[in-house]
Chains A and B, each alone.
Chain A
Amino acid sequence: MSARLLPYWRLLVAGVHEQSTYRLAMLGGLVANATFGFLKVAMLFATVRAAGGELRGYDIGSMSAYVWVSQGLLGSVNVAGTSDFADRIKTGDVAVDFSRPISPQGAVVAREVGKAVAALGPRGLPSIAIGALVVGMSMPTTPWPYLLGVVSLVIGVVLSAALVYALATAGFWLIETRGIQVLYMVISGFFTGLFVPISLFPGWLSAIATATPFPSMMMYPIDVLTGRVSLTRSLVLLGIQAAWLVATLVVGALLTRAGRRTLEVQGG
């Protein structure tokens, strides 16, 4: 690995270790995930059945796959918009981040991705297992959805970390960012496709959703992984995801540079 990237890789590993120290919290997260998973199952299965067993390409089996994969991603995709970095700007601890010979953006994103990866094991896989065992779900039988799905998932997770970082940089100007964080949470809940698959939205709403980076964080990885979309469509989705990732990282870097000019760290 290039020497320039080594610090960020090390921070990613540190993120994995950090996340792994809170096992009980992860178990709590899993219980919450599963509970809401059954709620989603009840509502969305009823919707599919009311539509005559098939709704916009979803049958019971594929809807189940959507529910349990989306619940499984909840520990790894940051839908809440909260971040350590926002707190660090607010408290002035960001001074420490700026005293290191690395990019604060790279450091924050690497660490968050590490945490997300660490959550996939204990929160993601059990959630999918619960769904498969208790409710049953249909998953692809060919290898490529899994291969592309993993790539799509990784981009989604990194994009989520990069987007929440960019959100947190608002703190350079606002100090307290809870207002926009709550706004982010409300919007991302819908537009990532966490509550309901985006293809069930009315046309105009789905058009708005697909014009944002949110579906790239969760909906597209689910579509690719569960084999809901064709190989070609999967590759297109990966391209869209990659474009959003690059754009988000660039915006985050620009905001960091601009924010540094206005940064005020007082009191120690």
Chain B
Amino acid sequence: MSEPIIATDGLTREFVRRTRSGKLLRDKTVVRAVDDLTISVEAGESVGYIGANGAGKSTTIKMLVGILVPTRGTVRTCGLDPLAQRRRLAHEVGVVFGQRSQLWWDLPVRESFSILAAIHRIAPGRAREREAELVGRLEMGDYLDTPVRQLSLGQRMRAELAAALLHTPRLVILDEPTIGLDVLSKQRLRDFLIEERREHGTTLLLTTHDMGDIERLCDRVLVVDHGRLAYQGSLDGLARTVGAQRVLVVDLVAATPDLTDLPDVVHLGSEGHGLRQRLAFDAERTTAARVLTEVSNRVAVRDLSVEEPDIEDVVRRIYQSQR
């Protein structure tokens, strides 16, 4: 089993956009959602697949599992051809599309699991065991008999995750699984995924806009921009790029002139006549602690927070640095 669990070569998908021009005529434009993408993921890895909205992440995922047909290039998932062997592949892969539900809206959560167990032809004993495991770990016991339409978003996302993992897939693909969730729900989902991987050695491919997801869950990241691979490598490498633009926000006890002359710090802006100031710093050259000391030497600090940059910003920087 040396073949990667995901392997694409020159994978490309184009969409034809028709825009109306005049009464009858229509203009055709070709949008390349995924552009000559060559990636490889080994079994057992946990990979973050990140990029801005419209970068081509979801389109890639849909080609990986045989939902969309590639325009060019090849793709193999779990050693199978996703298009020709879509059904066989579906037994090996669990997918969560964060924006779409795979549960039966009008039926209790429990029944969705039972339907999915039948769809995947899991033996009844095994299905019961697995369901109990997932219900326990994701703490779903108190809403198993509730119809899906009455669940909160956090409850539903846990049920979605359980639904995708019920057949114990080798490869789990999560497309924005934490979208719209509160901090605690995110935390719970992440802890669950870490445990699931430890127990079953599951391979994970995750798209997200949440840096926390990546930091907690992924060993490696692939960054995609305009359908092209813009970066691939370790989290540390990404963190260094990310670190270049952390922002320290300080609330000061008194209105203070803009702190524009601190070493290794760029003053981004002030609010309330300088009561709150935003200071960007390069984590390679200095630390949050040193910046704080510098500030404290001049004026007393009442409160502070460190802002992590969002993924879109990271992607933009990585992409720019490549040109």
Contact status A268-B97, CB under 8 Å? yes
A11-B102 contact, Cβ under 8 Å, with A3-B121, A95-B62, A95-B97: no
Q: Please tell me the number of chain A residues within 8 Å of chain B, measured between CB atoms.
A: 28
The interface stretch among A65-73, A98-106, A189-197 is A98-106
Q: Is the CB–CB distance between A10 and B119 below 8 Å?
A: yes
Partner of B115, one of A11, A93, A260: A11
Name the CB-closest residue of A to B108.
A17
On whether the beta carbons of A101 and B106 are closer than 8 Å, the reply is: no
Interface centre among B58, B93, B101, B147 (most CB of A within 10 A): B58
| B90 with A100: CB separation less than 8 A | yes
B253 CB to nearest A CB, Å: 46
The yes or no answer to B185 lying at the interface (CB within 8 A) is no
Residues of B in contact with A (beta carbons under 8 Å apart): 15, 33, 58-59, 62, 65-69, 86-88, 90-91, 93, 95, 97-102, 104, 106-107, 111, 114-115, 118-121, 147, 175-176
Q: A11-B115, A21-B106, A101-B119 are in contact. Are A95 and B69 (CB under 8 A)?
A: no
Are A101's CB and B115's CB within 8 A?
A: no
Known: A93-B100, A268-B58. A101 touches B91 (CB 8 A): yes
**A136 in contact (CB, < 8 A):** no
* Contact, CB under 8 Å: A6 / B118: yes
The residues of B that contact A7 with a CB separation of less than 8 Å are 118-119, 121
A residues within 8 Å of B by Cβ? 3, 6-7, 9-11, 14, 17-18, 21-22, 92-93, 95-96, 98-102, 260-261, 263-268
CA–CA, A93 and B95, complex, Å: 13
- Kindly list chain A residues whose C-beta atoms are within 8 Å of the C-beta of B99: 267-268
Inside 8 A of A95's CB, which chain B residues have their CB?
A: 62, 67, 97, 100
Query: In the complex the two chains form, is A268's CB within 8 Å of B119's CB?
Result: no
Give the docked Cα–Cα distance between A93 and B65 (Å): 15
Q: Is chain B's binding surface mostly helix, strand, loop or mixed?
A: mixed
Whether the Cβ atoms of B15 and A266 lie closer than 8 Å is: yes
Evaluate contact between A10 and B115: CB separation under 8 angstroms: yes
In the complex, what distance in Å separates the CA atom of A11 from the CA atom of B95? 20
Are B115 and A14 interface neighbours, CB within 8 A?
Answer: yes
Partner of B100, one of A6, A11, A92, A264: A92
Could you tell me the distance in whole angstroms from the C-beta of A112 to the nearest C-beta in chain B? 14
B251 CB → nearest A CB, Å: 37
**Residues of A with C-beta under 8 A to B98:** 268
Q: Please measure, in the bound complex, the distance between the C-alpha atom of A260 and the C-alpha atom of B102, giving whole angstroms.
A: 19
CA distance A101 to B119 in the complex (A): 7
Report how far A244 CA is from B116 CA in the complex, Å: 31
Judging by beta carbons under 8 Å apart, are B119 and A265 in contact?
no
Task: Say whether, besides A17-B107, A18-B106, A268 and B100 are in contact (CB < 8 Å).
Answer: yes
Is there contact, CB below 8 Å, between B111 and A17? Answer: yes
- Closest CB-CB distance, A148 to chain B, in whole Å? 31
**By the criterion CB–CB under 8 Å, are B68 and A265 in contact?**
yes
Partner of B59, one of A9, A22, A266: A266
Known: A10-B115, A265-B62. A101 touches B97 (CB 8 A): no
Instruction: Enumerate chain A residues within 8 angstroms of B118, measured Cβ to Cβ.
Output: 6-7, 9-11
Q: Is the CB of A263 within 8 A of B91?
A: no
CB distance from A78 to the nearest CB of B (A): 18
Are A98 and B97 in contact, with the CB atoms below 8 A? Answer: no
